[in-house]
Amino acid sequence: MSNIVAIVGRPNVGKSTFFNRLIQRREAIVDAVSGVTRDRHYGKSDWNGKEFSLIDTGGYVLGSDDVFEAEIDKQVELAIDEADAIIFMVDVESGVTGMDEDVAKLLRKVSKPVFLVVNKVDNGKRAEDAVEFYALGLGEYYTVASINGSGTGELLDALVEALPEKEEVVEEALPRFAVVGRPNAGKSSFINALIGEDRYIVTDIAGTTRDSIDTKYNRFGFEFNLVDTAGIRRKSKVKEDLEFYSVMRSVRAIEHADVCLVVLDANRGFDGQVQNIFWLAERNRKGIVVLVNKWDLVEKDHKSVKEYEKVIRKQMEPFTDVPIVFISALTKQRIFKAIETAVEVYQNRSKKIKTSQLNEVLLPIIENYPPPAYKAKFVKIKYIMQLPTPQPQFAFFCNLPQYVKEPYKRFLENKLREKFGFNGVPISVYMRKK
The C-alpha atoms of residue 90 and residue 118 are separated, in whole angstroms, by: 5
What residues are designated binding site for GTP?
Answer: 9-16, 56-60, 119-122, 181-188, 228-232, 293-296
Q: What angle is formed at CA 184 by the lines to CA 178 and CA 188, rounded to 5 degrees?
A: 45
What residues are designated binding site?
Answer: 9-16, 56-60, 119-122, 181-188, 228-232, 293-296
Q: What are the residues whose beta carbons fall under 8 Å from the beta carbon of 343, sequence distance 6 or more?
A: 222, 224
Dihedral through CA 390, CA 393, CA 394, CA 399, nearest 10? -120
The C-alpha atoms of residue 104 and residue 13 are separated, in whole angstroms, by: 15
Q: What angle is formed at CA 94 by the lines to CA 93 and CA 95, rounded to 5 degrees?
A: 95
Residues 187/180, Cβ–Cβ less than 8 Å: yes
Residues 137/116, Cβ–Cβ less than 8 Å: no
Give long-range contacts, CB 8 A cutoff, 24+ apart: 379-383.
Answer: 379/403, 379/404, 382/434, 383/359, 383/434
The C-alpha atoms of residue 354 and residue 233 are separated, in whole angstroms, by: 42
Element (H, E) at 344: helix 335-349
Output the DSSP codes for 66-106: -HHHHHHHHHHHHHHHH-SEEEEEEETTT-S-HHHHHHHHH
The C-alpha atoms of residue 225 and residue 175 are separated, in whole angstroms, by: 6
